[in-house]
Chain A
Amino acid sequence: MGVEEACRRAFLELQRKKAHRYIVFKIEEKRKTVVVEKIGEVDESYEDFRASLPDADCRYAVYDYDFVTDDNCQKSKIFFIAWSPDIARIRTKFLYATSKDKFKNELDGVHYEMQATDPTEIAIDIMKERAH
């Protein structure tokens, strides 16, 4: 499974320059590579991110979560999300599950990883709980 150069570049831009809010990655079966499907602008909201994840197909995603901690400092953490809804096809879930580790290793600097099988598992409160 290959990883397209564009993926690495987009991730570095998100991480270093804070140029994006989120990136959605897709595995293109024919070329056996991970490609960038959508890049979300900084001013896009969490709801836009949720809307760009398909209901019945798997994806990988990276989301830059900004928050204020208890001692009042502005922090930002990067979440890697393995989106694998229950209603997706078994083949798809299998493909994304086996390629996940290799892909994640390419993205150096991810703070938290999440796996979601339905929309309630990537709710904003879950992210809020995990980030500190």
Chain B
Amino acid sequence: MAELAEMHAAMPTTERGRGILVSADPKTPAIVYCNGRTVFIRRLDNPLEVDVYREHPAPVSVARFSPNGEWVASGDAAGTVRIWARAGPEHTLKYEYRALSGRIDDLDWSPDGQRIVVSGDGKGKSMVRAFLWDTGTNVGSFDGHSKRVLSCTFRPVRPFRVATGGEDFLVNYYEGPPFRFKTSHREHSNFVNCVRFSPDGSKFITTGSDKKGFFYSGQTGEKIGELLSENGHAGSIYAASWSPDGKQILTVSADKTAKIWDMLEDGNAKVSTTFKFSGGSGAEDMQVGCLWLKDYLISISLGGCINYLSCSNPGSPSRVLSGHIKNITAITAAAVGSGFEFFSSSYDGVICRWVYGAGFKAKLETKNPVHVKAMVAMAGNLFTCGLDNKLRMCPLPGETYGDSEMVELKSQPKDLDVALNCPHTAIMTSEAGVLLIQGSAVVSTNNLGFTATASAISPDGSEVIVGSQDGKLYIYSVKGDTLLQEAVVEGHRGPVTTVRYSPNGSMFASGDSNREAFVWDGVSHEVKMKNMVYHTAKITCLAWSPDNLKVATGSVDTNIFVYNLEKPVSAKIMIKGAHLGGVNGVIFKDESTLISAGDDACVRVWKLP
């Protein structure tokens, strides 16, 4: 069975104009955040160690550990709360409740782990609910909010109190259990984004989009102070996190800074350190989430980076974790220098560069991110073709990816392949037909009379195979700048989605929409391996191992199958559930290492037996 060797996790999903709420593991230095339908528990001291929970049917918005560290409660956009075991890879479900009728925005546990309070979007009354964790019975009624409640917090000591803040600019304070409305405050003049009790329960902070923050007594709910405006934030404050001793607080804001405030005797707080982020004109550096976990000060940018702040150097973070937020659409890999790197590009045009064994290296800078349809890394260059109708070549190792070498294509690309042994020759499938590219110019555009869906070029650049909508594989020889049809190979029962030559050029493999794949002999065009129909949905990608012995196929059904040409088809290796949502790219590093990427914005490296 294949083993997961490395996982390069997705970054937290962020939304412009809103903060995100992340939490921490009480036992280990790990941060908990969500992307799509997955909850990630990621160690801050070793970010390659990630645990995932993928059972929510709707996008997850918030997840929080119980105070004893055994359980995690996570809430999603449909209003469901799932309580599951932290331990074990299966994370068995303990309880599941339909807590709210709309999206859950925040969730907190009582300090004894018996009660849970959730807040979010409900219709009419049910915007905040507190219930017993094991039965789901309500513990009080929470009136007082008329709009979406963005944050809620449970007092971490007895007597129990709950504070909530929402889009109606109100901060409400409830006593209980059973919880009843006690006081309301309208200090904020805009959305209240985050409410948090201090670790000793003596006070709580509320921060809002009006750039202000206020402190209230944890015991009575009365206002006791505010964040002093000198050196204060110049943009909406999205989140706040207390230091473990409760004497300081970390806040993050849309003004692209994070600030640490010292609590003063009179109940106010003043700025002690400001952490600035690169600035620039984009919104990527707006800080939307934060966490103070023991010695770690974490701030999360809108662009999805997790920044480790350093007090000794407020100008730049000591470490930055980055990756993809959206579905990864293409992946490629190559040996670069003395190491091995792989590149992934996502739906939003972000291209990331990863180093095998180490993790994220850099994002390729680009002025106009565009959805990349296909990428190939070969012989020191990275070729990408995107939906802006351009083919770009970027030399490796490089940090930028720009307009230096660019080929204009007249239509939307579908597939790209570069000849392994003469990397100046490439073949590209598009709406208009098949384009033959030599160097940096389109040598010919061939309208072949059928709708081409996939293409491949042999390693020596002399032969091209084009897969079509009707399931046939058309083989052409390359003569100068024209393609001469040599043969037609039939066998697929659906549009061909991917074709690739083996690295030595003696065979080629193809996959179709009808979940079937074949391996053919390159000269006789006879079937070498058939009945590769183990997938249950369209095959999206295919890769050959460097020793020409293995073929891996990935599909929308989230599985990857690796077939060995020296063994029968039934001896295939199955990687079940590789990527939630579907596998979009597979590539081999060597005979026993496979890299895959998919709709869950993660890149995984597998070791094959």
Query: A112: shortest Cβ distance to chain B, in Å?
Result: 20
Instruction: Check A88 for interface membership: any CB of B closer than 8 A.
Output: no
Residues of B within 8 A of A124 (CB): 570
Are A119 and B533 in contact, with the CB atoms below 8 A?
yes
Are B568 and A47 in contact, with the CB atoms below 8 A?
yes
A103 to B534, CA, bound (A): 30
Query: B86: shortest Cβ distance to chain A, in Å?
Result: 29
Query: B161: shortest Cβ distance to chain A, in Å?
Result: 53
- Report the count of interface residues on B (CB-CB < 8 A): 7
Residues 31-48 of A, flagged 1 when their CB comes within 8 A of B and 0 if not, give 000000000000000010
- Report the count of interface residues on A (CB-CB < 8 A): 8
A118 to B568, CA, bound (A): 16
Are A118 and B533 in contact, with the CB atoms below 8 A?
yes
A103 to B493, CA, bound (A): 32
Are A119 and B531 in contact, with the CB atoms below 8 A?
yes
Query: A63: shortest Cβ distance to chain B, in Å?
Result: 15
Beta-carbon nearest neighbor of A123 in chain B: B570
Residues of A within 8 A of B533 (CB): 118-120
Are B531 and A120 in contact, with the CB atoms below 8 A?
yes
Are A120 and B534 in contact, with the CB atoms below 8 A?
yes
Residues 565-580 of B, flagged 1 when their CB comes within 8 A of A and 0 if not, give 0001110000000000
A28 to B568, CA, bound (A): 32
Query: B564: shortest Cβ distance to chain A, in Å?
Result: 16
Q: Which of B531, B569, B570 has the most CB of A within 10 A?
A: B570
Beta-carbon nearest neighbor of B531 in chain A: A119
A123 to B532, CA, bound (A): 12
Residues 455-496 of B, flagged 1 when their CB comes within 8 A of A and 0 if not, give 000000000000000000000000000000000000001000
Residues 527-540 of B, flagged 1 when their CB comes within 8 A of A and 0 if not, give 00001011000000
A51 to B580, CA, bound (A): 36
Residues of B within 8 A of A86 (CB): 493
A119 to B572, CA, bound (A): 13
Residues 45-87 of A, flagged 1 when their CB comes within 8 A of B and 0 if not, give 0010000000000000000000000000000000000000011
Residues of B within 8 A of A47 (CB): 568
Residues of A within 8 A of B534 (CB): 120
A86 to B533, CA, bound (A): 12
A123 to B533, CA, bound (A): 12
8 smallest CB-CB distances across A and B, nearest first, come from: A119-B531, A120-B534, A118-B533, A120-B533, A123-B570, A119-B533, A120-B531, A47-B568
Which positions in B face A, CB cutoff 8 Å?
A: 493, 531, 533-534, 568-570
Which positions in A face B, CB cutoff 8 Å?
A: 47, 86-87, 118-120, 123-124
Q: Given contacts A87-B493, A118-B533, A120-B531, could you give 10 more A-B pairs where the C-beta distance is less than 8 Å?
A: A47-B568, A86-B493, A118-B531, A119-B531, A119-B533, A119-B569, A120-B533, A120-B534, A123-B570, A124-B570
